[in-house]
Amino acid sequence: MAMTIDVERLGGSPPVAVVALAGELDASNYEQVIDVVRGAYDEGARGLVIDLEQLTFMASSGLFALHSAVRIMRGETPPDPEEGWSALHQMAQDEDSRATSVRLAAAQEPIARVLDRTGMLRLFALDGSRADAIAALQGA
């Protein structure tokens, strides 16, 4: 099953992009997510919601893409895939690195489980819905 990515740009403060993933996120397509996030940042988005409602599978390469999204939204260079997992663990263990401009929304149970197992929920807030995530970013 392929993955589709839908991007919605919202006004407001800060400008938020919602990236909705559908299907299966794996090693064959994770770079598409990184590219889309980079594009959204370059076009001015300073808050990012990754909507996982329609995502049915996330491999560890998907976790790497989420980590890269945090770095991009901070204006930093995303990590090299060669060092990705090590860097990701480092971040997950550092409370100060908890993402403030990236929120995850509406993960299905298997996805939420893999996020939890790998320590990613210490790094990301996971909201019940896209609307909740947007509201949290924009303080509405």
Distance CA 56, CA 51 (A): 12
Contact call for residue 124 and other proteins (CB under 8 A): no
Of the two residues 3 and 18, which places its CB atom closer to other proteins in the complex? 3
Of the two residues 42 and 82, which places its CB atom closer to other proteins in the complex? 82
Phi (first) and psi of residue 35, to 5 degrees: -65, -40
* Share of the chain residues as helix, strand and coil, in percent rounded to the nearest 5: 45, 25, 30
Retrieve residue 46's tokens: 């300073």
Contact call for residue 118 and other proteins (CB under 8 A): yes
Of the two residues 67 and 130, which places its CB atom closer to other proteins in the complex? 67
Q: DSSP 3-state assignment of 26?
A: coil
CB of 54 vs other proteins, minimal distance in Å: 16
Residues that bind other proteins (CB under 8 A): 1-2, 24, 26-28, 57, 59-61, 63-64, 81-86, 89-90, 93, 110, 113-114, 117-118
